[in-house]
Structure 1
Amino acid sequence: MSCSPTVQHISDCFIKPLYDSEEAKKPVYLSSWDLAMLSVQYIQKGLLFTKPSSFQLDPLLQKLKESLSITLVHFYPLAGRFKTLKQDNPPLYTVFIDCVNSPGARFIHANLDLTVSDILSPKDVPLVVQSFFDHDRAINHDGHGLSLLTVQLTELIDGVFIGLSINHVLADGSSFWHFFNSFSEVFKANNGQKQSIPISKSPNFNHWFPEGHGPIINLPYTHHDQFISRHESPNLRERFFHFSAESLKKLKAKANQECQTSNISSLQALSAHMWRCITRVRKFPADHITSCRMAINNRARLEPPLPENYFGNCIQTVRGIASARKLLENSLGWAAWEMHEAVVNHKNKDIREWVEKLESGMIYQLGFFDPSSIMMGSSPRFDMYGNEFGLGKGVALRSGYAHKFDGKVSLYEGIEGDGSMDLEVCLLPHFMASLETDKEFMDSLSS
């Protein structure tokens, strides 16, 4: 039996900003939100395109590299590398970005002898998709030697995949898509001129620190072995499920009606629905405590708020908690209200208290994720399908190996827009098999 084709790297190079700004000559110091990400993995997301009839590879590669160089003028930290500054007296251990002593961001051209249909038609996401991204299994601390950003173009027989891998210490989901959108914007405006191109939303690199703190954060360590660990995902099944705008409206209406309110959002209703369905197929004992975590953007919740274009990490998770019995004996509306309350009660005071904990040198560890939980990550609000690169609209979004564990659900904008969503669901194989035969779940996809 022949092996399935693998991704072949044709070439790679490093891309520097078109020119160095004065800011890029200074060290970039990181907030406690950023440094907490040192032991987790890169953000890996990308778009699959079908080849247009006029497709020419070499001009596309050239224009992507030129446009990346121009975009990096605005996003200069992404072309840097981490440095650790240590000293004994007074004691200091801090990680920062050095934008001067770096070869730049990485650009990879790769090839795969498969079709778009080979990627999209199987029920489960094929494992080869993980090879559409650089930094496979890398953790963010590896950014001392590895690029903080890699753009990889993988040519298929009848398609192209453009995958970005960005160090999570530099960016959360909002910042990741801010860069992706700006890269696409520069590409569209680039007529071959080797000069700076303005972008509609300039990043703000003024990292936030509580009053009296920063810009240098002294971590309570003497060696990185004290705070980094490597997470290997278990054998998972990864599937995409599509929720139309209509099916989401029905979920939201049902949740609100059951609670006699109009305050529950589509996202809260959907999160509660996934929490209940996945908990049901896991068949926990009645008194087993479960939770649903949801990533939340803190920018507008701080007082005073941070700008929308704040570039860095500004996220936390909020959660609903319930025993398996309470969750499953109560209605969808009950669970959705738990999620609603978790979101509305997450305010400036809670954020600042969390940052105080991070200031003591807390570093997140992926391997500690609670197997009784589900985690709702990413956001359907990000502009994903607006990134085109002269190839027309993408036909699918996919992600890499990073941050996959049993119960991870990533939310993406549906391809038709209009409020639809695609859910990337990762579960242990026997749980996924049960979810696929769960009537309430399967009926909700087509309702």
Structure 2
Amino acid sequence: MAATDGLLTVLEKCRISPPPNTVGERSLPLTFFDLRWLLFHPIHQLFFYDFPHSKSHFVQTVIPNLKHSLSVTLQHFFPFASNLIVFPAPNPSGLARKPEIRHVEGDSIALTFSESTLDFNDLIGNHPRDCNKFYPLVPQLEGASKVSDFVKIPIFSVQVTIFPNIGITIGLTNHHTLSDASSRYDLLRAWTSIAKYGTDEMFLAGGSLPFYDRVIEYPQILDEMYLKLPPIQKLDEKYRPPALVSQTDRVRATFILTRAHINLLKKWLSVRLPTLEYVSSFTLGCAYAWSCIAKSRLHLEGKTGENEQERFVCVIDWRSRLDPPVPQTYFGNCVGPCFTTTNSTLLTGNKGFVTAVELVGKTIRETLKNKQGMLKDAETWLDRSILQVPTVGVAGTPKLNIYDVDFGWGKPRKYETISIDFSRSISVNVSSESAEDLEFGVSLPAKQMDYFSTIYGQELEDIISEEI
């Protein structure tokens, strides 16, 4: 029987496992690069597709196909059907056994099918939209449970929602210890291929099976640094991942930086920073968004102290940059952070954008050129990540074309990273219109979004008018 919750009706709740006897008992130890996300909020993704078909067509054709194709996909990506296993510390002064991702025969993920009466066309817009409207469309992770001498934590769930005769959304939620964006994208490429062709033959022919061996070498002290944290040592069956909660005054909006805009901004910067090394579109776009967010906060809150700091954080995929490198299909987390901090006065001044470009570009270049690699400053990541200053982080990457995720209904009309609502990050992806354009997802209090939108548009218009 269908269950109704406001504007959402649950049509079916089920559990999906890999086909019987295809995975068995397998485990995947967490590395330092996974452990650092252990207390982080889940990642929520939401894809919107045009689907001008009835609910009955959805039930009769889409639901069976998605169930079957997801099951086959999980055969190749068993960690998504697994659980995070956490071992309590043996005593207050001792270290707990390192957590792992473990699959046993019969493990499954929660898959929900639902129907919504929300305004689909409003949700896929770029204009500011109430964040609360999106939350019913993404699944929550189930709670932890005690099993023998360990705690079992579910790490992946899926929700598919039909808007009859209009569209479909696919919502994904995963614990960040499971994987980074690259491994999630590999799963989606496999699932969409199997959903479209009815078999995994095309996927297997592409030679992109996940690489599970734990081959990254790093000092053991990095594991210990996180395993010693009291919140990790105290993880038990009461653990519940941070949940999406109602936001009283928060909206999300999408801003497109076209290739033409990017080229004009680079030309404008070349005059003001003639000695600046190559600036990527990612660096330029993130710097512009960072400076506009800082200025919008200034308009909202007023001038802060002279020594107030602002921080920007992004991550770099190190699969091909490690020595020795690991395969591009390495499964799990293999990213390291880039931090840069500056004085609020500089970032919100007339040269705020120029300052941001210099800082973001410099920190990315220095991190990539570091002969000691990403591990040089790894012992400082924890302290730097919890520094209490206004921070803008980045979710997503334009190197993975999220708009290529096609289940057979065509490419997504819109993609949203819902988890930026409580990570205080921006999402950065290629645009739905062109892989040459950048698409920024921004989540802010409504009044600050008004300021941000005005600043973003006006400063871009001023720069373009100078160059045309």
TM exceeding 0.5: yes
Matched, 1:282 2:286: no
CA distance in 2: counterparts of 1:318 and 1:107, whole angstroms: 35
CA distance in 2: counterparts of 1:252 and 1:337, whole angstroms: 12
Matching of residues 95-110 of structure 1 within 5 Å:
95-100=99-104, 103-110=107-114
Alignment deviations for residues 248-276 of structure 1 (CA, whole Å, 9 cap, x no partner): 22223322332224501111111111122
Matched, 1:389 2:407: yes
The verdict on how the C-alpha distance between 1:228 and 1:61 changes in structure 2, with shifts beyond 3 A counting, is: closer
The verdict on how the C-alpha distance between 1:212 and 1:274 changes in structure 2, with shifts beyond 3 A counting, is: closer
- The one of 120, 130, 145 equivalent to 2:135 is 130
Corresponding residue for residue 156 of structure 2: 149
Corresponding residue for residue 414 of structure 1: 431
**Identical residues among aligned pairs (%):** 19
State the shift of 1:384 in Å. 1.1
State the shift of 1:342 in Å. 0.3
Matching of residues 217-228 of structure 1 within 5 Å:
219-220=227-228, 222-224=233-235
1:43 partner amino acid = I
- The one of 178, 197, 204 equivalent to 1:198 is 204
User: What stretches of structure 1 of length at least 5 have no aligned partner?
Assistant: none
Give the secondary structure class of the aligned counterpart of 2:436: coil
1:80 partner amino acid = S
The verdict on how the C-alpha distance between 1:19 and 1:61 changes in structure 2, with shifts beyond 3 A counting, is: same
State the shift of 1:335 in Å. 2.6
2:360 partner amino acid = M
The verdict on how the C-alpha distance between 1:302 and 1:389 changes in structure 2, with shifts beyond 3 A counting, is: same
CA distance in 2: counterparts of 1:175 and 1:244, whole angstroms: 28
Query: Which stretch shows the higher mean deviation, 330-339 or 87-96?
Result: 87-96
Corresponding residue for residue 265 of structure 2: 251
Matched, 1:436 2:453: yes
Alignment deviations for residues 18-61 of structure 1 (CA, whole Å, 9 cap, x no partner): 24446x52322110111221111222112111114598212111
Query: Which stretch shows the higher mean deviation, 264-273 or 13-22?
Result: 13-22
2:260 partner amino acid = E
Asked whether the equivalents of residues 171 and 313 of structure 1 are also in contact (C-alpha less than 8 Å), the reply is yes
Give the secondary structure class of the aligned counterpart of 2:98: strand
Corresponding residue for residue 62 of structure 1: 64
The verdict on how the C-alpha distance between 1:181 and 1:445 changes in structure 2, with shifts beyond 3 A counting, is: farther
The verdict on how the C-alpha distance between 1:134 and 1:337 changes in structure 2, with shifts beyond 3 A counting, is: same
Asked whether the equivalents of residues 141 and 173 of structure 2 are also in contact (C-alpha less than 8 Å), the reply is no
State the shift of 1:211 in Å. 5.0
CA distance in 1: counterparts of 2:115 and 2:135, whole angstroms: 14
Alignment deviations for residues 398-428 of structure 1 (CA, whole Å, 9 cap, x no partner): 233x342485211122011241122111223
Give the secondary structure class of the aligned counterpart of 1:184: helix
2:135 partner amino acid = Q
State the shift of 1:102 in Å. 5.2
Give the secondary structure class of the aligned counterpart of 1:94: coil
2:283 partner amino acid = Q
Give the secondary structure class of the aligned counterpart of 1:185: helix
CA distance in 1: counterparts of 2:173 and 2:258, whole angstroms: 29
Corresponding residue for residue 352 of structure 1: 375
The alignment's TM-score, normalised by the length of structure 2, stands at 0.81
The alignment covers a number of residue pairs equal to: 434
The verdict on how the C-alpha distance between 1:105 and 1:363 changes in structure 2, with shifts beyond 3 A counting, is: farther
Asked whether the equivalents of residues 256 and 264 of structure 1 are also in contact (C-alpha less than 8 Å), the reply is no
Matching of residues 162-173 of structure 1 within 5 Å:
162-173=170-181
CA distance in 2: counterparts of 1:150 and 1:295, whole angstroms: 25
Query: Which stretch shows the higher mean deviation, 43-52 or 202-211?
Result: 202-211
Asked whether the equivalents of residues 39 and 227 of structure 1 are also in contact (C-alpha less than 8 Å), the reply is no
Q: Pairwise CA RMSD of aligned residues?
A: 3.6
Query: Which stretch shows the higher mean deviation, 382-391 or 212-221?
Result: 212-221
1:256 partner amino acid = S
CA distance in 2: counterparts of 1:19 and 1:107, whole angstroms: 18
Matching of residues 12-51 of structure 1 within 5 Å:
12-21=13-22, 24-51=24-51
State the shift of 1:337 in Å. 2.2
Asked whether the equivalents of residues 312 and 393 of structure 2 are also in contact (C-alpha less than 8 Å), the reply is yes
The verdict on how the C-alpha distance between 1:319 and 1:427 changes in structure 2, with shifts beyond 3 A counting, is: same
Asked whether the equivalents of residues 265 and 464 of structure 2 are also in contact (C-alpha less than 8 Å), the reply is no
User: What stretches of structure 2 of length at least 5 have no aligned partner?
Assistant: none
